[in-house]
Amino acid sequence: SSEREVVVFAPQARPPEVPPDFTWIQGDPTKESELDKVRLSHAHSALVVGGRDVSPSQADARSILTVFTIRSYLSQHRFKDERKRPVYVVAEILDAENVDHARSAGADEVIETTRLGFSLLAHTIDQPGTAALLSRVGVKGVQNLYVGPIPEAITLPQSFGALATSVKAETGALVIGIRSGDGHDLLNPADETEV
């Protein structure tokens, strides 16, 4: 949301190209003692981005240590009134072999940017235009992708085809799949699939 303050926490000084609406705090995110600088216990989410000035394995190692440090810090900083939802931690991983390590360290979501980028490059050779289309879907503010509950005005059970039509009529959104109660996604299910 545009109402959230974006705080960048990095070990180097603020680069001049960082937009002024980002708050820049210099420090080491792998040190629990430094996480108070960013009021992490009050954050909505934390995005851990891999370094581009080291090898992918070194960048991933630092990202995994940062995720682990964030989770350790948060487990020790409880509030009198518990949060409605825990800090959501997203980690960028460059080497696919480190995805499970990032999850084990406490990342709620892991994005393999190298794999995603290379997959888009390869797929667009076979299907020209798909990378441009997916970029439009994935870039915030262009054609947004949402994961959320079914609008209250729509009653269940019904088929996926009927649900997709109802949601399109109610909200203008294109439904591309369903998420089960246990978090598994089913993309492009058959129209007769019951929801």
The tens place of each residue's pLDDT in the chain, 195 residues long, gives 456 788 888 888 888 998 888 889 999 999 999 998 998 888 889 999 998 889 999 999 999 999 999 999 998 876 545 656 789 999 999 999 999 999 999 999 999 998 888 888 898 999 999 888 888 777 766 667 788 888 888 888 999 999 999 999 988 888 999 988 777 888 999 999 988
The amino acid at 161: G
- pTM, rounded to two decimals: 0.75
Q: Residue 139: in which H helix or E strand, if any?
A: none
Instruction: Using alpha carbons, select from 4, 78, 91 the residue that is nearest to residue 49.
Output: 91
